[in-house]
Amino acid sequence: MRIPIGVTPGESRRIACRLVGEGEGPPFSVAGPPSEEAEPEWVLIPDVDRGDAAFVSRFEVTREGYLAYLNDRGWQSAERARTRLPAGVEGGIEEGGDGVFRLIAGARADVPVCGVSAEAASDFARRATARAGGEWEIRLPKSEEWQRAFQGDDERRYPWGNEFHRTFCRALGSRPDDPPPEGPEPVGLFPLDEGPHGGRDLAGGVREWTSSRPAGGAALRIVRGGAWSLPASLCAVEAVDVRAPGVRDASIGFRLAAQRSR
C-alpha cells in the first residue's frame, strides 16, 4: 500500500490509517485489462485526515466488463440493456441479431468503455454490489476520492508531476508522429500516467463520472480527468466538468470505488 504524504523540511505529521493486508481488497473482477497477469485491480486511497480509506479500481472499466453487464439477463432484460448501450463507434459495442451484445468488428475488449451515462455507470456499480453478496458496497468514486488518486497529498497538477508531457498519457497529440485510431486506446498503455497510489490512466484515456454533485447543481454530476480527445489544459487536476447524468459522451467513461459494507 502506498501512502504519499506531503511534508515540508522540519515538519512532522502523525497519521491514523488502518493498514490493509494482501487479499483484503474486493475479491472480484469488475474492470481492468483481460489478462491473468494483470496488476491488482484495486488500489487503496487512504484519507489521512479522517483515518478512513476506500478502494478505487486501478483501471477504468473496460468494454469487456461492460459487455458482461449488458448481457447479464439475471440483472436486466435485453430491452433495458439496450437503453444502456454505449453511444457511437468509440463505445465499441453493438447489439447482434440474436439480441446478444458484442464488440463492434475490430474493436478491442481491453479499451475503456465510453459513451455511457452516469445512470448506466451507477447501475453497473449496483450490479457489482449485488455480486459481492453484501460484503462490499461498489459505487462511483466521489470527486474527492478521485482527486486523491490523481495527485496524492502534494497538489501536483498531473499524476507524474507539475509539467505536462504529451507522450505520458492518451490525450490529444499524444502520438504526433504516428497518429493512433480515433478513440481511446487499451488501458495501461501509458505507464507514466499513474497516480501516487497506483491508479492508472487518470490524466488521459477517458474522462470519468463521479458520484459527486456540484454546489447548487443537484441534478448534475461532476466529471474528472482528461481524455483521448482533449488538450493538455483539460488533463490537469483543476479541469473539472459538470454534466447531466443522462449524457452519453464519447470522451466519458468511469472507474469504480469500493468500501466494505458497514
Residue 175: C-alpha distances to residues 163, 165, 171, 225 (Å): 18, 11, 9, 19
Mean pLDDT, residues 148-163 taken together:
92
Dihedral angle computed from the Cα positions of residues 30, 32, 37 and 39, in that order, rounded to the nearest 10 degrees: -100
Task: Read off the pTM.
Answer: 0.86
Q: Which pLDDT value is given to residue 218?
A: 82
Q: Does 2 score more than 90 pLDDT? A: no
Q: Which pLDDT value is given to residue 260?
A: 86
User: pLDDT by residue (tens digit) across 76-103?
Assistant: 999 999 999 999 889 999 999 888 999 9
Answer for the pair 225, 209: CB distance below 8 angstroms, yes or no: no
Please give the Cα distance from 189 to 57 (Å, whole number).
16
Q: Which pLDDT value is given to residue 14?
A: 61
Indicate the average pLDDT of the chain. 85
Q: Does 13 score more than 80 pLDDT? A: no
Structural domains in the chain plus CATH codes: 1-262 (3.90.1580.10)
Name the band, by pLDDT with cuts 50, 70 and 90, for residue 53. Answer: confident
Please give the Cα distance from 187 to 205 (Å, whole number).
7
Eight-state DSSP code of residue 228: T
CA dihedral over 91, 92, 96, 102, signed as positive or negative: negative
Query: Comparing 23 with 104, which gets the higher pLDDT?
Result: 104
Q: Does 34 score more than 50 pLDDT? A: no
Name the band, by pLDDT with cuts 50, 70 and 90, for residue 4. Answer: low
Q: Which pLDDT value is given to residue 154?
A: 84
User: pLDDT by residue (tens digit) across 58-67?
Assistant: 999 999 999 9
Mean pLDDT, residues 30-36 taken together:
46
User: pLDDT by residue (tens digit) across 178-195?
Assistant: 665 578 999 999 999 999
Q: Which pLDDT value is given to residue 32?
A: 44
Q: Does 48 score more than 60 pLDDT? A: no
Eight-state DSSP code of residue 62: B
